[in-house]
Amino acid sequence: MKKEVLEINMERFDSYIEKLDVKASFILAIASAILAAILIEYKSISNDNCFLKVLLVISIIFIVISTIFSILVIIPRKSISNFKSCLYYKSVAEMSKDEYKVFLNTINNQESFEKELINETKELANICNQKMIKCEKSSFFLVLGLGIILLIELINIIKF
């Protein structure tokens, strides 16, 4: 039973990680498009309206912060532990075929394999958690930046 729960959690965490990477890529594309639009459209803010310029700069800063958090989500995270695992790709890649075969033979019972699953599940959960935090921050700053742009547009509409 424990093994099945661990395997299900590993699959779920892998899936969450993939989805977070996709969301971050989407946020990055939106933020890039908004920054490009700002550079094209908002050259026309009059020189005498310092308040709108300050709002625009704040908006740009928020969108750039959103972009940075999105990039941090997408960047692959490596394990910080030196724990060797038959489930972690880097551990397997660093072993020769013979070393890997010997290592697999040391996992000779259900308990030792469950230990491998526990370690890998915990590592995936940590990766997922860090990506989720960064993706949420990216979304938050993007919404703030967009909100300020909408405010600028409303002020321009009311002004004219």
DSSP string covering 70-112: HHHHHSPPPP-S----SSSHHHHHHS-HHHHHHHHHH--SHHH
Convert the pLDDT of each residue in 89-125 to its tens digit: 777 788 888 887 777 777 777 777 788 888 888 888 9
Convert the pLDDT of each residue in 52-97 to its tens digit: 889 999 999 999 999 999 999 999 876 666 667 767 777 778 888 8
Convert the pLDDT of each residue in 127-138 to its tens digit: 999 999 999 999
Tell me 43's DSSP state. G
Task: Give pLDDT, residue 116.
Answer: 80
Task: Give pLDDT, residue 156.
Answer: 80
Task: Give pLDDT, residue 58.
Answer: 95
Nearest Cα neighbor of 119 from 19, 17, 9, 21 is 9
Task: Give pLDDT, residue 153.
Answer: 86
Convert the pLDDT of each residue in 27-43 to its tens digit: 999 999 999 988 887 66
